């Protein structure tokens, strides 16, 4: 069973940077899709970024050019570097995983990820 634990996050002013990390355990094969998804009360869940076992990376339109996703397979960690943060980036950031490489056609659809962390809060003030 895949388990995910987020760390990092916090509060920053607009234009600043934050890093969130996810420690993953329980993968039994090299194929995987690891992602960050954020939630804001009253809004739909939004896909932020994802990376798969083959190193393919995917980004939500609102964060392209500002966020970077990386993985350390040896340590089973996932990192999201967030630069040029905006108030609209505020939300609860969840680490999510699936035991197959990412498929862009379904990546952000409901039910795509079977494993979730508890989330970490990111707050960007104007």
Give 16-53 pLDDT, tens digit per residue. Answer: 999 999 999 888 777 889 999 999 888 989 999 999 99
Tell me what pLDDT residue 29 has: 73
Contact 34, 22 (CB under 8 A): yes
30 vs 77, higher pLDDT: 77
Total length of the chain: 126
Q: Quick one: what percent of the chain has pLDDT higher than 90?
A: 75
Which residue reads 């934050």 in tokens? 18
DSSP state of 87: G
Contact 96, 4 (CB under 8 A): yes
Q: Does the pLDDT value for residue 115 go beyond 90?
A: yes
């Amino acid at each position: 069973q895949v388990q995910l634990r987020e760390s990092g996050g916090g509060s920053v002013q607009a234009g600043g940077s934050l890093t969130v990390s996810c420690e993953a355990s329980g993968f039994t094969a090299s194929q995987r899709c690891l992602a960050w998804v954020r939630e804001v009360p009253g809004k739909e869940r939004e896909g932020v970024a994802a990376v798969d076992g083959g190193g393919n990376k995917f980004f939500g339109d609102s964060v392209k050019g500002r966020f970077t996703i990386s993985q350390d397979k040896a340590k089973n960690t996932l990192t999201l570097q967030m630069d040029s943060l905006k108030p609209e980036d505020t939300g609860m950031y969840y680490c999510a995983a699936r035991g197959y490489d990412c498929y862009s056609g379904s990546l952000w659809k409901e039910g795509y990820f079977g494993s979730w962390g508890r989330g970490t809060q990111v707050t960007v003030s104007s």
